[in-house]
Structure formats: structure tokens, C-alpha cells
């Protein structure tokens, strides 16, 4: 063991253990727990049960949000809302291809926004959106890339952004004030991506929407009532402090009542599907606890703070997405927290949001590339590398955008906090959709 920098030795033990276990196909959550255990043992703590249990509860709030959000998504999926919405968007906008593509990208993002998981978005809204994308003239590669990237941007958009929650938990920063910066980063980048990937038709568009897309049992305003209730409760939460978990559960109960589905069965299925991501958060919490106990977190922060700003920026732009290949949540905890502490003095909320943007890209970085692999499965593309290659321009643009936002965090923060943010953001999108509408009209 190094007598000069024992923390470096502990960190290498934890990091190498994690990478080795991941390479051996050990589940990410188990790999994180065993790597944390290795850190404790190397530091002389041979029975760290208390610390492991304490670490497992670090992200309890985030886990409650995810579990309840997954129940809500499953409830509205069972009610037929998602299918009905996709059908409605297509039927009304099938003659306005560019507008339709952008709205379908937002539709795919919806599941990620609610659950904080790109995988959940790919397998729910992404799977429902695929027939629509195919009918706009896109091939499997284009559609798969749009689904994967939209799912990632949805994971990073408000109201639920898990990488930011992880970073905030590590520096005692509450999840407050992130909606504006996350919206400013995710929606424009999603728009650029879908137009970049879908601007050219590869296949002839076919209007046979009903052939592969099931028709929901329920129709009408009742289907939308749970979503409207969710939005209303989120607004009232600013005054009543209900909390996101209770908001999701109340909205889920309403959706189950409308669809006449068994809420208990829906909840069991949703929790079963969310166990993977919940277990990862437990593992990340244990890993963070080990880093704190061994002094690794302080060592990393001190080491990074001694680097020139340009090197720190390069480390954020490249290191965070690459480490996200193992786990975007692990990247947010292991690298995101130290980098945020290193970059203190700028607008911390904006910097944390930008770091989460870069960490989220890990879901498209090989070899794991969860979003890309599941998108390939949804569109029946045997080689997911084709989807990754098609997404590469968007990945590069997002890395550059995240880096520029970090550099100009103070200016971005001033704009977000100004009275002009909402008029510029929504007015800009209104003008943008008008331009797309005119372009679609001209054919």
C-alpha cells in the first residue's frame, strides 16, 4: 500500500474491482457493492455492515420517486393513454412530417422524464413511437437512434433527473431549481437530434397506423385525466409540499380506476421492472459511503482542484461520458461529485445539470450502451452498433454543448433566473414550430 497517498490505493482498489466485476458481467449493483466492500477492507474496516446499510439508504428519496413513477407509467400504459396519444399525434400531424418527428421525440422523452430511466423510456414510449417513426419514412437505424437519444434526453429532463439527484446528494444540494436548466439543455438538444437524424426519408412513408398499433380500450378525456392530475398536483406541490412519490401514487390510483385494472397487480409489475435501477442506486450509495470513509472523495477533489481549468473541463467532457459506459449513475457519483466540487464558484445548479447531461451519454457508450441495445431490440435491428454510429453526431454535439454550458455557467444561470427565460424559451419554440409548419406545407 502506498504510504504517501493511501487514498489513491483505496481508490484504485475500488475502481479496479468495479471495472473487473463489470467486465465479468456481474450486475452493476452487485459490482458497486463488492467494490465498496473492497475499499472498506483495504482501509482496515473488515466488517463494515453499518456503513453498507447506511450507504444503501443514501438515495432513499430518489428510489421512492422512481418506484412510484414506474407505477404511474405502468398505470397509464395499461389504461391505453400512451397508445391513444401516439395515435392522436400521428393522425393529426401525418401531413406535417417535421412537426410530427419533433413531437414524437418529446413523446418518447415523456417516460424518461417521469421515471428517470432511459431504458424505461425506450421500452415504453419508444416501442409505441416506433410504428409512427417508421411511417414517416425512417429506416430501422434512424428510428432506433432517435428512440435511444430521445430516451436519454428524457432521462435528463425534469421532473426526475437521477444523475443530478446523485450529484446533489453527494454535496448536500437539494433538488430545487433544476427544472429550468434541465429543460434548456434537454429539449433543444432532443429537437436538434431528431431533425438531424430524421431529416431524410430512407423508406417511403406508409399510412397504415392501425395495422401494428393496438387501439386502446378507453377513449376520450378520461384517458388524459391522470396526466392532468399529475401536472396539477406538481404545481400545487410548490405550496402544499405533497412530494413526488405521493403525487405519482395518487395519479396512478386514478389511472387504475379509469382503466378498471388491478392497482396491486400493476404495482407488482412496475416494481419488478424497476428493481434493476433501484438496486443500482443502493450500490451507488454504498460506493459513495466507502469513498467518504476512506477519504477517497476528498483526495479526488483535492487532486482535481490542483489541475488547470482547461484540464478539468477536458476531464468532465470526456471522462464522465466514458465512465458512464459502466453506469451513468456510477459516473455521476464517482466523477460527477468531485468535478462539481472542483468547479465551485460558478453557478452550481447549472454546472451540476451540465455534468448530468454528460453522464447520461454513458447510456450510449459501448460496451454496455443500454439505451442503444434496447433501442435495437425495439426496432429489430440485429447490430446495435449501427444505431450507435447513427447517434454519434448527436453525442458529439451534446458533449460540446455540455462543455460550453459549464464554461459559461454564470451567464447561463443569469439568463435562467431572469424574467426573460420563459418568454424566450416558449416563444422560441412557438416560432420554431411555425417555421417547421411552413416547411412542411411547402413539401
Which cell goes with 344? 465551485
Predicted TM-score (pTM) of the model is 0.83
With CA atoms as reference, report the closest residue to 370 among 397, 424, 333, 331. Answer: 331
> Which 3 state secondary structure label does DSSP give 254?
helix
**Tens digit of each residue's pLDDT (9 = 90 or more) over 9-54:** 998 999 899 889 888 888 888 988 999 999 999 998 888 999 999 9
> Which 3 state secondary structure label does DSSP give 86?
helix
Question: Do the Cβ atoms of 283 and 276 come closer than 8 Å?
Answer: no
Query: What ranges do the domains of the chain cover?
Result: 6-442
Which cell goes with 239? 405550496
What's the confidence (pLDDT) of residue 219?
55
- Paired residues of 346 in beta bridges: 344
Mean pLDDT, rounded, for 223-241: 84
Which cell goes with 60? 432513499
**Tens digit of each residue's pLDDT (9 = 90 or more) over 176-189:** 889 999 999 999 99
Query: What is the C-alpha separation between 412 and 395, in angstroms, rounded?
Result: 21
**Tens digit of each residue's pLDDT (9 = 90 or more) over 390-418:** 999 999 999 999 999 999 999 999 999 99
Residue 3's pLDDT band (cuts 50, 70, 90): low
What's the confidence (pLDDT) of residue 27?
87
What percent of the chain has pLDDT above 70?
A: 93
What's the confidence (pLDDT) of residue 213?
46
With CA atoms as reference, report the closest residue to 132 among 156, 183, 97. Answer: 97
Q: Reply yes or no on whether the pLDDT at 203 is more than 80.
A: no
Q: Reply yes or no on whether the pLDDT at 217 is more than 50.
A: no
Most distant CA pair in the chain: distance in Å? 72
Specify the residue for cell string 453527494. 170
Rounded (10°) CA dihedral 249, 251, 253, 257: -170
What's the confidence (pLDDT) of residue 4?
58
**Tens digit of each residue's pLDDT (9 = 90 or more) over 84-93:** 888 888 888 8
What's the confidence (pLDDT) of residue 92?
87
What's the confidence (pLDDT) of residue 153?
96
The DSSP symbol for 367 reads T
What's the confidence (pLDDT) of residue 210?
47
Residue 212's pLDDT band (cuts 50, 70, 90): very low
- Paired residues of 344 in beta bridges: 346
**Tens digit of each residue's pLDDT (9 = 90 or more) over 82-122:** 888 888 888 888 889 999 999 999 999 998 998 888 888 99
Q: Reply yes or no on whether the pLDDT at 220 is more than 80.
A: no
**Tens digit of each residue's pLDDT (9 = 90 or more) over 254-312:** 999 988 889 999 999 999 988 888 888 898 889 889 988 998 877 877 777 777 777 87
Q: Reply yes or no on whether the pLDDT at 214 is more than 50.
A: no
Question: Do the Cβ atoms of 400 and 406 come closer than 8 Å?
Answer: no
**Tens digit of each residue's pLDDT (9 = 90 or more) over 424-441:** 999 999 999 999 999 888
> Which 3 state secondary structure label does DSSP give 30?
helix
Which cell goes with 436? 417547421
**Tens digit of each residue's pLDDT (9 = 90 or more) over 239-259:** 777 888 999 999 999 999 988
Amino acid at each position: 500500500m502506498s504510504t504517501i497517498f493511501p487514498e489513491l490505493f483505496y481508490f484504485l482498489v475500488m475502481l479496479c474491482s468495479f471495472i473487473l466485476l463489470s467486465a465479468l458481467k456481474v450486475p452493476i449493483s452487485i459490482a458497486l457493492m463488492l467494490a465498496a466492500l473492497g475499499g472498506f477492507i483495504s482501509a482496515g474496516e473488515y466488517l463494515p455492515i453499518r456503513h453498507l446499510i447506511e450507504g444503501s439508504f443514501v438515495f432513499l428519496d430518489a428510489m421512492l420517486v422512481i418506484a412510484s413513477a414506474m407505477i404511474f407509467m405502468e398505470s397509464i400504459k395499461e389504461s391505453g393513454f400512451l397508445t391513444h396519444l401516439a395515435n392522436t399525434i400521428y393522425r393529426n400531424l401525418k401531413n406535417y412530417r417535421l412537426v410530427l418527428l419533433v413531437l414524437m421525440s418529446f413523446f418518447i422523452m415523456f417516460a424518461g422524464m417521469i421515471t428517470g430511466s432511459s431504458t424505461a423510456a425506450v421500452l415504453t414510449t419508444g416501442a409505441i413511437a416506433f410504428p409512427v417513426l417508421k411511417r414517416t419514412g425512417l429506416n430501422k437505424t434512424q428510428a432506433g437512434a432517435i428512440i435511444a437519444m430521445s430516451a436519454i434526453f428524457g432521462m435528463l429532463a425534469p421532473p426526475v433527473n437521477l444523475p443530478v439527484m446523485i450529484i446533489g446528494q453527494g454535496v448536500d444540494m437539494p433538488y430545487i431549481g433544476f427544472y429550468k436548466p434541465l429543460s434548456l439543455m434537454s429539449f433543444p438538444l432532443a429537437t436538434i437530434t431528431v431533425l438531424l437524424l430524421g431529416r431524410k426519408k430512407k423508406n417511403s412513408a406508409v399510412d397504415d397506423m392501425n395495422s401494428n398499433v393496438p387501439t386502446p380500450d378507453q377513449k376520450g378525456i378520461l384517458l388524459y385525466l391522470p396526466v392532468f392530475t399529475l401536472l396539477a398536483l406538481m404545481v400545487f406541490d410548490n405550496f402544499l409540499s405533497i412530494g413526488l412519490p405521493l403525487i405519482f401514487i395518487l395519479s396512478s390510483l386514478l389511472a387504475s380506476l379509469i382503466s378498471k385494472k388491478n392497482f396491486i397487480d400493476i404495482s407488482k409489475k412496475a416494481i419488478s421492472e424497476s428493481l434493476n435501477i433501484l438496486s443500482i442506486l443502493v450500490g451507488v450509495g454504498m460506493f459513495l459511503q466507502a469513498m467518504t470513509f476512506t477519504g477517497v472523495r476528498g483526495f479526488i477533489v483535492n487532486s482535481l482542484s490542483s489541475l488547470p481549468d482547461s484540464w478539468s473541463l477536458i476531464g468532465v467532457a470526456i471522462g464522465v461520458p466514458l465512465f458512464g459506459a459502466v453506469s451513468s449513475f456510477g459516473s455521476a457519483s464517482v466523477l460527477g461529485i468531485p468535478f462539481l466540487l472542483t468547479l465551485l464558484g460558478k453557478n452550481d445548479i447549472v454546472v451540476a445539470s451540465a455534468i448530468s447531461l454528460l453522464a447520461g451519454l454513458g447510456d450510449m457508450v459501448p460496451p454496455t450502451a443500454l439505451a442503444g441495445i434496447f433501442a435495437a431490440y425495439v426496432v429489430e435491428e440485429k447490430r446495435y452498433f449501427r444505431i450507435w454510429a447513427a447517434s454519434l453526431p448527436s453525442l458529439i454535439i451534446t458533449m460540446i454543448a455540455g462543455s460550453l454550458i459549464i464554461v459559461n455557467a454564470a451567464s447561463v444561470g443569469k439568463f435562467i433566473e431572469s424574467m426573460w427565460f420563459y418568454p424566450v424559451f416558449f416563444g422560441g419554440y412557438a416560432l420554431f414550430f411555425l417555421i417547421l409548419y411552413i416547411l412542411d406545407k411547402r413539401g
